[in-house]
Amino acid sequence: MKVPETPLTPDAETRASLRVRFGETDLMGIVHHAAYLSYFELARVEYLRRRGVIYARWAEGRHLPVVSAGLEYLRSARFDDELQVVARLAVLTRVRVGFSYQVLRGEELLCRGDTMLCCVDDAGRPRRIPDDLTQALLGPEQG
């Protein structure tokens, strides 16, 4: 499922910074394609944290597993590059949360992609996203 790149609200965006580690690169010194999913996760967790959602505390009995992911690679990142990962909340339904992402080196777009998450209980059954989480997802970054 392709998630829109436009955030649901003007506040529904977070930027996270990282420096490419040696272990994230292949023999050619280029970031391995799988590392980008970790970059997406970093930005997604930061999106939640900056809105007061600490997943470890929230997740008692509810979970948000990734159920689909898509990536498009445009340029290569290399060891020691400083990157920005932009996470945007793009889809929010009763049980699903969709984020779009951009990985940037300066102003240069290296990769874009999306993930869809589904709220489930401990048995893996879909459950409604709690109202407090919905409000936090739609809200601005805190302090």
29/64 Cα distance (integer angstroms)? 33
Q: Can you count the helices (H) and strands (E) in the chain?
A: 3, 7
Please tell me the predicted confidence (pLDDT) of residue 61. Answer: 85
Please tell me the predicted confidence (pLDDT) of residue 7. Answer: 66
Phi–psi pair at 37, nearest 5 degrees = -65, -35
pTM: 0.91
Separation of first and last alpha carbons in the chain:
33
Question: What are the residue ranges in the chain where pLDDT is below 50?
Answer: none
- Which domains does the chain show, CATH number per domain? 13-138 (3.10.129.10)
Please tell me the predicted confidence (pLDDT) of residue 39. Answer: 99
Please tell me the predicted confidence (pLDDT) of residue 77. Answer: 98
134/92 Cα distance (integer angstroms)? 8
Please tell me the predicted confidence (pLDDT) of residue 10. Answer: 73
Tokens of 1: 């499922």
Tell me the per-residue pLDDT of 71-97, one tens digit each, with 9 for 90 and over.
999 999 999 999 999 999 999 999 999
Exposure string (b/e) for 96-135, b if CB count within 10 Å is 16 or more?
bbbbbbbbbbeeeebbbbbbbbbbbeeeeeebebeeebbe
